[in-house]
Amino acid sequence: MDVNESGPQRLKEEIAGHYRRIIALLGENVEREGLLKTPERVAGVMQFMLQGYGQDPEAVLAAAMFREEDYRQMVIVKDIDFYSLCEHHLLPFFGKVHVAYIPRKYITGLSKIPRVVDIFARRLQIQERLTLQIKECIQKTLDPLGVMVVVEAQHMCMQMRGVEKQNSLTTTSDFTGFFQQAKTREEFMNLIKK
């Protein structure tokens, strides 16, 4: 169903109907007081958690692009909190994203980098793809001399089921341009650890 055809409320009602059926299939009484509004609440949460599908991250960056005079050093936005849903189990994974780019001609408003992170995180995801998509969006839109993205996350699918490892942390990274030089990558890594 297309959201534009039915509207967000109609979509929420349809999603809630599916959750009502799932709850019943699992053996619960969907008419029990504590569960009466649960399907609607879960539908609202899912619409919020997956709102990134209706947003254009490149447009967000492009809306705040500025020409900069000869600034060729790293621009770093670190410790960007994010929450996403693992596409394999629909369980949350969450953590921090660290982004750096070296401008060629353009810079962007600093708040736009976290917005790009949120747009990609608010989709069914895997951490590796999230890392790649953030990097590619910044590279394509700003055309910098290089981009590097590091994502550190905890995955509930590893912590509350499966191997049940409570303190595990997964780190992914991707980079382009000047960040292919080990010295530049090391500088970035040192700066985000401080």
* 3-class DSSP state of 143: coil
98 is catalytic: no
Q: Which of 127, 133, 137, 139 is catalytic?
A: 127
Q: Give the other-Cβ count within 10 Å of 129's Cβ.
A: 14
Query: Which position has the token pair 């509004």?
Result: 37
Q: Which of 98, 125, 137, 155 is catalytic?
A: 155
Tokens read off for 131? 């890392």
157 is catalytic: yes
Q: Which of 40, 157, 159, 187 is catalytic?
A: 157
Q: Which of 88, 128, 181, 186 is catalytic?
A: 88
Q: What is the 3-state secondary structure (H, E, C) of 31-65?
A: CCHHHCCHHHHHHHHHHHHCHHHHCCHHHHHHCCE
Q: Which of 89, 136, 152, 187 is catalytic?
A: 89
40 is catalytic: no
Asked if 69 contacts 75 with a C-beta cutoff of 8 angstroms, the reply is no
Q: Give the other-Cβ count within 10 Å of 102's Cβ.
A: 21
Q: Which of 14, 18, 28, 87 is catalytic?
A: 87
Active site residues: 86-89, 127, 155, 157
